[in-house]
């Protein structure tokens, strides 16, 4: 099974349910966890995540790979760490730091191989954005899609079916995700709120873990848009997008494009 855990950012170390779920899926107390802090501008990020995972019961000390330049990506010990990992955690910060450091390296190939063999890939904020093949790189906030509200670049490509966005409701990013899906209507837009995680299993099913919600923007039934004609940062017209807002306990079938919301049981 392949598993992506896309976290919307600002997940508090004291709010551990998402971290516990990552550890459980990566093997519990026996998990071999690797932390990738490259997106962060803070020197202690990797150490802090490693300490958190240990405090939650991981017996083997997580490995934080602290390199910040391309020349160090393919060191044998870095590649070996990925080969032995059962869970890989990608820290937040700036997603372009990740792709410019490891894109096109042997390290990137080993990272994708680890995912394909079953290592759980989790990321928060920038670590979520970088998961998709088409990566939302920069953008502006706002509920209305506008010309050039978002910019794109290649991500790491764990999935070619989704475009992720993060800090979603907290930073009012519906407009830029709608814009993205009007450009790529064959993909699913998955906007993840802070303190929330979208769990993607085998590229087929999405479930939710955490305090807030995920927003799924489905363009498969889009009727029309004028996105190709609009200039000057003007609003974009789009007809036929479907939007699902899901919370913990809900799920989404990526094949049928149907959501499941559990019924409330009356006392």
Residue 194 a catalytic site member: yes
> How does strand 134-139 pair with strand 150-154?
antiparallel
Catalytic residue, candidates 125, 132, 182, 244: 125
Catalytic residue, candidates 78, 110, 194, 244: 194
Strand-pairing partners, residue 158, are none
Residue 14 a catalytic site member: no
Q: CA end-to-end span of the chain, whole Å?
A: 38
Q: Label residues 64-98 b or e (16+ Cβ within 10 Å = b).
A: bbebeeeeebbeeebbebbeebbbbbbbbbbbbbb
Catalytic residue, candidates 50, 108, 167, 244: 167
Nearest to 128 by CA among 155, 101, 160: 155
Q: H or E segment at 98?
A: helix 95-102
Spatial distance between the Cα atoms of 17 and 233, rounded to a whole number of angstroms? 40
Residue 125 a catalytic site member: yes
Catalytic residue annotation: 125, 167, 194
């Amino acid at each position: 099974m392949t598993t992506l855990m896309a976290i919307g950012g600002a997940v508090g170390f004291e709010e551990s349910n998402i971290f516990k779920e990552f550890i459980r899926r990566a093997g519990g107390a026996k998990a071999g966890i690797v932390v990738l802090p490259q997106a962060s501008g803070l020197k202690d990020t990797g150490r802090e995540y490693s300490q958190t995972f240990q405090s939650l019961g991981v017996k083997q000390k997580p490995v934080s790979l602290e390199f910040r330049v391309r020349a160090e990506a393919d060191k044998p010990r870095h590649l070996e760490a990925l080969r032995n990992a059962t869970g890989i955690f990608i820290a937040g910060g700036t997603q372009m730091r990740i792709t410019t450091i490891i894109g096109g390296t042997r390290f990137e190939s080993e990272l994708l191989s680890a995912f394909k063999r079953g290592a759980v890939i989790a990321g928060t904020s920038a670590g979520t954005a970088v998961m998709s093949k088409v990566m939302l790189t920069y953008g502006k906030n706002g509920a209305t899609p506008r010309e050039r509200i978002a910019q794109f670049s290649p991500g790491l490509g764990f999935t070619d079916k989704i475009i992720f966005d993060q800090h979603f409701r907290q930073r009012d990013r519906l407009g830029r995700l709608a814009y993205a899906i009007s450009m790529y209507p064959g993909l699913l837009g998955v906007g993840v709120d802070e303190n929330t995680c979208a769990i993607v299993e085998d590229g087929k099913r999405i479930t939710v873990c955490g305090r807030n919600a995920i927003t799924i923007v489905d363009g498969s039934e889009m009727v029309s848009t004028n996105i190709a004609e609009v200039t000057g940062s003007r609003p974009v017209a789009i007809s036929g997008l479907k939007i699902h807002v899901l919370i913990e306990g809900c799920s989404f079938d990526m094949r049928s494009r149907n959501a499941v919301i559990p019924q409330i049981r009356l006392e």
